[in-house]
Structure 1
Amino acid sequence: MKELVAAALAAAKERGRDVADVPLAGIAAAAGISRSTLLRRLGGSRAALDEAVRQAGVDPGGRPPVRERAIEAAAHLVAERGLAGITLDAVADRAGCSLPSLHTVFEGRDGLLAAVFGQYGPLPDLEALAADPPEDLEGAVRALYETFAASFAQEPRVVPAVFADLFSRPDGPAAAMMGANLPRTYDGLNRLLQPHVEAGRLRPLPVPVLVQLLLGPLITHILLRPVLEPAFGAGLPSVDRAIDHFVDCYLRAVALPGA
């Protein structure tokens, strides 16, 4: 049975699924046997295999996949405790899965945290925006501001916790979380901004500089709002109104005449 468990875990890892979600044909192929042979060795039912996987310390699944449960559990823990308070043991307990399951699916804490930021950070909405971008420059800039502002407000509040950790520990887990998602994030931003550079609407600055000029003021404003609101009260513009100002200032800074 050990070799069948190993084959089931390998097939699950390759597909990014729980063992319970992998067809018997896939497990049989990983074991180098036919599906009928696998069923015969299991006594006609996969229940024996699921139990053997469970005895090996891995949740075979059947509920929402371990990956989904773990990402959701970790996101709530990040919002509640900050990144410093996250352990795989705590995530496994909250998600109702085993510690070996987390190692199998994510290959450690860094992999899990990167998946959390990939799902609860700005990336999903950024990629959706890049797939169907506004045609005009002002519309693209405004949509980017709104996308990133929404990521700070999304519950559970993962993004504020990530930036809090990043500023306090530049070489900590937040940097690894963001770094793991940086290629996709950069690709989305590049797809939105580079066409306007090529069309002569934006100054031909490196995309990282264009992005820093774009997002730096917004991120600073949002992170400081808890301090600014008691001090300025009604004098502090809403986030939507602040975005109006940031859009205007950004275009004045980097848009070329006639854009």
Structure 2
Amino acid sequence: MSNGERLSSVPSELVQAALRVAQARKSAVADVPLQAIAGEAGISRSTLLRRLGGGRQALDEAVRAVGVDPGGQKPVRERAIEAGAALISSQGLASLSLERVAAAAQCSVHSLYAAFGGRDEMLQAIFLRYSPIVDVEAVVASQPADLESTVRQIYALMAAAVSREPRVMPAILAELLARPQDESLQPLVQYIFPRLFAGVGKWLTAEIAAGRIRDLPPLLLIQQMSSPLVMHLLLRPATQQVPDLPAPPIEEVCDTFAEAFLRAVALPAPGGPGPRPDGDGGDHAG
């Protein structure tokens, strides 16, 4: 009997029974006695064995197929995200395939389809894990009133994400810069940018409406805020290899670029002294 035939022969209620018992015992499915699974399913142990084809292998494979590892390892989804991130970091975005991730994560391709739906969804999950977007969304969603503090928090999150190992963000950015029209990248592009504008773009628009920053297109504001820091972080590993070219600490880098962005776009509070950065404020001699 093939793996696929064994999988299809295991009723879903038996899989769910095994998962419930494992969760209740706080143990791996592989450590749960068949007698306990049979009891949860309301059948005898002999009936359970008969429906499994005589052993646990079919049950273990069926459990893997729903994204849970039966042997006490991390869930398939977690292992796949970590394995995919390592592949992207070491060999580039083109190396990411379900087959290679399955081999690295010690799971089946079928289980990856069950956990993600496909390669595009898996790449999105990796991006969410290793990019700063989720944390940045949380910062701007808190309706911050302090522009400077918010900008500095965003810079710190960006620096941590781009600098961390595995180097997923640098690999993705390099691919987007080198082949922006590559069809294999379009699902990720179509996912990232609408989400970016729904979070950071919405916050910037609110800051414009509140009169705290200059009225510029959100795309330009996002690029003006992120590009200098991201470029520094991408080149930093290379420049650190150059003798007599010391790189300042990351905290100092973030402070420098945050201050530059704020000087460029921040407007004084209403009634505050001094001209606006765009030259529209202040008195003029007649």
Alignment match, 2:157: 147
Does 2:167 match 1:163? no
Alignment match, 1:29: none
Shift of 1:188: 2.7
Shift of 1:60: 5.3
The separation in 2 between residues aligned to 1:6 and 1:162, in whole angstroms, is: 41
In structure 2, do the counterparts of structure 1 residues 132 and 155 end up closer, same or farther at CA, with 3 Å as the change threshold? farther
Q: How does 1:3-42 map to 2 (within 5 A)?
A: 5=10, 7=12, 21=19, 39-40=42-43
Please list every run of 5 or more consecutive structure 1 residues that lacks an aligned counterpart in the other structure: 13-18, 24-35
TM value normalised by structure 1: 0.75
The separation in 2 between residues aligned to 1:226 and 1:115, in whole angstroms, is: 26
Shift of 1:159: 0.6
Q: Deviations over 1:95-127 (max 9, x none)?
A: 111111112222222211111001111123213
Does 2:48 match 1:48? no
Q: Is the 8 A contact 2:137 2:199 kept in 1?
A: yes
Please give the root-mean-square deviation of Cα atoms over the aligned residues, in Å: 3.7
In structure 2, do the counterparts of structure 1 residues 41 and 101 end up closer, same or farther at CA, with 3 Å as the change threshold? farther
Q: How does 1:203-218 map to 2 (within 5 A)?
A: 203-218=214-229
Q: How does 1:218-237 map to 2 (within 5 A)?
A: 218-231=229-242, 233-234=244-245, 236-237=247-248
Which stretch shows the higher mean deviation, 193-202 or 141-150?
193-202
Alignment match, 1:247: 258
Alignment match, 2:80: 70
Alignment match, 1:91: 101
Shift of 1:150: 1.0
Q: Find the residue that maps to 2:240 and give its secondary structure.
A: helix
In structure 2, do the counterparts of structure 1 residues 251 and 180 end up closer, same or farther at CA, with 3 Å as the change threshold? same
Which stretch shows the higher mean deviation, 38-47 or 85-94?
38-47
Q: Which runs of 4+ in 1 moved over 6 A?
A: 1-4
Q: How does 1:56-205 map to 2 (within 5 A)?
A: 58=65, 61-62=69-70, 63=72, 64-132=74-142, 134-172=144-182, 173-205=184-216
In structure 2, do the counterparts of structure 1 residues 206 and 232 end up closer, same or farther at CA, with 3 Å as the change threshold? farther
Shift of 1:182: 3.5
Give the % identical residues: 37
Total equivalences in the alignment? 242
Q: Deviations over 1:200-249 (max 9, x none)?
A: 01112232221111111111222222343345744543332222222222
The one-letter code sitting in structure 2 at the alignment partner of 1:61 is D
Alignment match, 2:269: 258
The one-letter code sitting in structure 1 at the alignment partner of 2:69 is G
In structure 2, do the counterparts of structure 1 residues 46 and 258 end up closer, same or farther at CA, with 3 Å as the change threshold? farther
The one-letter code sitting in structure 1 at the alignment partner of 2:52 is A
The separation in 2 between residues aligned to 1:87 and 1:167, in whole angstroms, is: 21
The one-letter code sitting in structure 2 at the alignment partner of 1:219 is V
The separation in 1 between residues aligned to 2:7 and 2:91, in whole angstroms, is: 39
Please list every run of 5 or more consecutive structure 2 residues that lacks an aligned counterpart in the other structure: 1-5, 22-38, 271-286
Q: Is the 8 A contact 1:162 1:174 kept in 2?
A: no
Q: Deviations over 1:54-84 (max 9, x none)?
A: 5678375334321111111111121121112
The one-letter code sitting in structure 2 at the alignment partner of 1:48 is L
Q: Is the 8 A contact 2:144 2:150 kept in 1?
A: yes
Indicate the structure with greater helix content: 1
